[in-house]
């Protein structure tokens, strides 16, 4: 054997890829160690003894490859030199293979390299499944939510933002160049989500305010959607790959128009009452000593009204909803920061627990709750809530719950999670503490009624 032959033989043997040389009749002339490992046969069992076609699993693959081989001898450029097929090894295991065919010059032999792409396929499937679960979680969120990649291309557009904007996900996904701004502003322009990727002072000026909380941005502003004005609260944050590099950003929007309108009504009522109280106070300044009591009562009423407004402001300036997720066996697989803050229980102490332990921080003992109704409808369990309402496969409920020993009025929303085959793999529940809002309503009404009575009494005295 010449030095040149030795050189090429070494390359043939040492390459990490399974490689064979085929004769014109498909007999394997030479096979390297990589093909031994791939096929499960020794070189002695292969070379000159086995035909290439013996390893082809599917009949349609065999017919296609024979046809390509015939056409390749006529015109090498007429057929692809790389394609996929399924190989069956000695143990009858079927493997997904990427094969590359290279005719050898000045001979009728063919150099064939084979790459096992089975693991790559499994990784692709796992990645697709992971992306599907993430998309399902985003789609479940009650707030209008969308996400972009680092280039600004839309990669998520959930049902809530479809409803808010009137634009379907199928018309948004994959689009860039600030397409997500058009339904809200009528033009292409940067939004809060872009500031999560890179701060821009000019973008900040377009909002009523922008506040930073760690790596998250919170903002408020007014938009016109389909001819209707909305006051929106927004929250945006970047997300990262496993190396800590920013690969995109996500933004959630919440319609706070009703709360803003309520705030204006309350402020107007406060101003009107303030004027009326001052007018009556001025008229009664010289009446008698009872006016001092009236002044004290007025100050107390002002303080109570200010306190009510503070409670309402706290509600408007809301935090993200406490949320947790369980799998099909009831194991806790997600426990967010908001529910940590609500319950005082850290995620590290809750993740992986089973047997309804996720409800102990609320009721002090394990028991089924709204999220369990997703899996098993139960009329007796539904009676424990003030109401339970179904919207498709989503459950809405409200109840008074002891959180850290203190009664709270909580609004809950629960829904199933599905895998890529449409099978239920778990459930998610979000809760929202509406206690302060209800207390604020009650206190405000009481303060308003008391002031009306006092104003009427003073007017009668005049």
For range 50-58, the mean pLDDT: 92
- CATH fold of 3-116, please? Beta-Lactamase (3.30.450)
- Could you tell me which residue, 395 or 442, shows the higher pLDDT? 395
What confidence tens digit (pLDDT) does each residue in 29-43 have? 999 999 999 999 999
- Whether the pLDDT of residue 294 is over 70: the answer is no
Contacts of 248 (CB under 8 A, 6+ apart): 147, 148, 149, 150, 155, 197, 238, 239
Q: DSSP label at 306? A: H
- Whether the pLDDT of residue 346 is over 70: the answer is yes
- Whether the pLDDT of residue 295 is over 70: the answer is no
In degrees, rounded to 5, the angle at the alpha carbon of residue 82 between the alpha carbons of residues 78 and 86 is 120
For range 264-284, the mean pLDDT: 74
What pLDDT, on the 0 to 100 scale, is given for residue 2?
Answer: 54
Tally of CA atoms within 13 A in the half-sphere of 195 that contains its CB: 24
What confidence tens digit (pLDDT) does each residue in 296-338 have? 666 664 554 344 334 332 332 344 799 999 999 999 999 999 9
For range 387-414, the mean pLDDT: 90
Mean pLDDT value across the chain: 85
CA distance linking residue 234 with residue 255, whole number of Å: 9
- Whether the pLDDT of residue 84 is over 80: the answer is yes
What pLDDT, on the 0 to 100 scale, is given for residue 333?
Answer: 95
Q: Which percentage of the chain shows pLDDT scores above 90? A: 53
What pLDDT, on the 0 to 100 scale, is given for residue 74?
Answer: 77
CATH of 323-435 given 3.40.30.10, 3.40.710.10, 3.30.70.141, 3.30.450.20: 3.30.450.20
Q: Which percentage of the chain shows pLDDT scores above 70? A: 88
Q: Among 147-151, 269-273, 343-347, 358-362, where is mean pLDDT lowest? A: 269-273
How far is CA 63 from each of CA 28, 96, 266, rounded to the nearest angstrom? 18, 17, 79
pLDDT range class, residue 264, cuts 50, 70, 90 = confident
Provide CATH 3.30.450.20 ranges for the chain.
Answer: 3-116, 127-255, 323-435
3-state secondary structure 27-78: EEEEECHHHHHHHCCCHHHHCCCCEHHHHECCHHHHHHHHHHHHHHHHCHHH
For range 132-142, the mean pLDDT: 82
The rounded Cα 434 to chain-centroid distance in angstroms is 24
426 SS3 class: strand
- Whether the pLDDT of residue 115 is over 90: the answer is yes
CA distance linking residue 94 with residue 88, whole number of Å: 5
What pLDDT, on the 0 to 100 scale, is given for residue 302?
Answer: 55
For range 190-211, the mean pLDDT: 92
pLDDT range class, residue 357, cuts 50, 70, 90 = very high
CA distance linking residue 163 with residue 253, whole number of Å: 12
What pLDDT, on the 0 to 100 scale, is given for residue 273?
Answer: 77
What pLDDT, on the 0 to 100 scale, is given for residue 173?
Answer: 94
What pLDDT, on the 0 to 100 scale, is given for residue 299?
Answer: 66
* Residue 234 backbone phi and psi in degrees, to 5: -125, 150
What confidence tens digit (pLDDT) does each residue in 146-156 have? 999 999 999 99
- Could you tell me which residue, 12 or 348, shows the higher pLDDT? 348
Radius of gyration of the chain measured on its C-alpha atoms? 35
Q: Which two tokens stand for residue 213?
A: 């909380």
Q: Which two tokens stand for residue 92?
A: 């009858």
CA distance linking residue 167 with residue 186, whole number of Å: 13
- Whether the pLDDT of residue 136 is over 50: the answer is yes
Q: Yes or no: say if 231 and 222 are a contact pair by the CB < 8 Å rule.
A: yes
414 SS3 class: strand
What pLDDT, on the 0 to 100 scale, is given for residue 277?
Answer: 65
Backbone conformation region of residue 198, classed left if phi is above 0, alpha if psi is from -120 to 50, else beta: beta
For range 350-364, the mean pLDDT: 93
Q: Which two tokens stand for residue 305?
A: 């009204």
For range 228-233, the mean pLDDT: 90
For range 39-55, the mean pLDDT: 93
- The torsion of the CA quartet 301, 304, 305, 307, rounded to 10 degrees, works out to 160
What confidence tens digit (pLDDT) does each residue in 403-451 have? 878 888 999 999 999 988 889 999 999 999 888 877 777 888 887 888 8
pLDDT range class, residue 16, cuts 50, 70, 90 = confident
Whole-prediction pTM: 0.47
| Domain 127-255 in CATH 2.70.98.50 | no
Shortest CA distance to 76 belongs to which of 110, 25, 99? 110
How far is CA 144 from each of CA 139, 171, 265, rounded to the nearest angstrom? 9, 16, 26
For range 55-77, the mean pLDDT: 86
SS3 of the chain: helix, strand, coil, percent, to 5: 45, 30, 30
b or e along 311-330 (b: 16 or more beta carbons within 10 Å of the residue's beta carbon)? bbeebeebebbbbbbbeeeb
Q: Yes or no: say if 173 and 146 are a contact pair by the CB < 8 Å rule.
A: no
């Amino acid at each position: 054997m010449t030095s040149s032959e030795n050189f090429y033989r070494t390359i043939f043997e040492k390459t990490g890829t399974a490689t064979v040389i085929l004769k014109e009749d498909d007999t394997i002339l030479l096979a390297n160690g990589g093909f031994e490992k791939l096929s499960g046969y020794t070189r002695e069992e292969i070379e000159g003894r086995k035909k290439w076609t013996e390893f082809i699993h599917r009949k349609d693959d065999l017919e296609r490859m024979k046809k390509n081989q015939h056409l390749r001898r006529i015109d090498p450029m007429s057929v692809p030199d790389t394609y996929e097929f399924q190989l069956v090894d000695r143990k009858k295991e079927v493997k997904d293979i990427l094969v590359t065919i290279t005719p050898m010059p000045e001979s009728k032999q063919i150099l064939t390299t084979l790459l096992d792409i089975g693991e790559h396929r499994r990784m692709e499937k796992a990645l697709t499944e992971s992306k599907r679960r993430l998309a399902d979680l985003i789609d479940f969120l009650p707030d209008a939510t969308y996400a972009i990649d680092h280039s600004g291309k839309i990669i998520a557009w959930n049902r809530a933002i479809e409803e808010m904007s009137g634009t379907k996900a199928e018309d948004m996904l994959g689009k860039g160049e600030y397409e997500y701004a058009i339904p809200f502003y009528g033009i292409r322009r940067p939004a809060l989500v872009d500031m999560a990727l890179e701060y821009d002072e000019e973008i900040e000026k377009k909002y009523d305010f922008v506040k930073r909380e760690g790596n998250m941005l919170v903002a408020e502003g007014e938009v016109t959607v389909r001819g209707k004005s909305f006051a929106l609260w927004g929250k945006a944050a970047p997300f990262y790959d496993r190396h800590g590099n920013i690969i995109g950003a996500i933004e959630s929007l919440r319609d706070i128009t009703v709360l803003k309108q309520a705030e204006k009504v309350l402020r107007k009522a406060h101003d009107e009452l303030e004027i009326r109280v001052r007018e009556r106070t001025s008229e009664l300044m010289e009446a008698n000593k009872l006016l001092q009591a009236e002044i004290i009562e007025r100050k107390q009423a002002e303080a109570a009204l200010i306190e009510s407004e503070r409670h309402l402001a706290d509600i408007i300036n809301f935090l993200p909803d406490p949320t947790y997720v369980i799998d099909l066996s009831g194991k806790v697989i997600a426990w967010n920061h908001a529910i940590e803050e609500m319950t005082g229980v850290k995620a590290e102490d809750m993740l992986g627990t089973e047997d309804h332990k996720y409800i102990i921080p609320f009721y002090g003992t394990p028991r089924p709750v709204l999220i369990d109704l997703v899996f098993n409808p139960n009329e007796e369990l539904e009676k424990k809530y003030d109401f339970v309402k179904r919207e498709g496969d989503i459950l809405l409920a409200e109840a008074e719950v002891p959180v850290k020993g203190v009664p709270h009025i909580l609004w809950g929303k629960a829904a199933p999670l599905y895998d890529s085959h449409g099978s239920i793999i778990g459930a998610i529940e979000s809760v929202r503490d509406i206690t302060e809002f209800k207390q604020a309503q009650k206190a405000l009404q009481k303060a308003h009624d008391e002031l009306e009575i006092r104003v009427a009494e003073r007017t009668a005295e005049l």
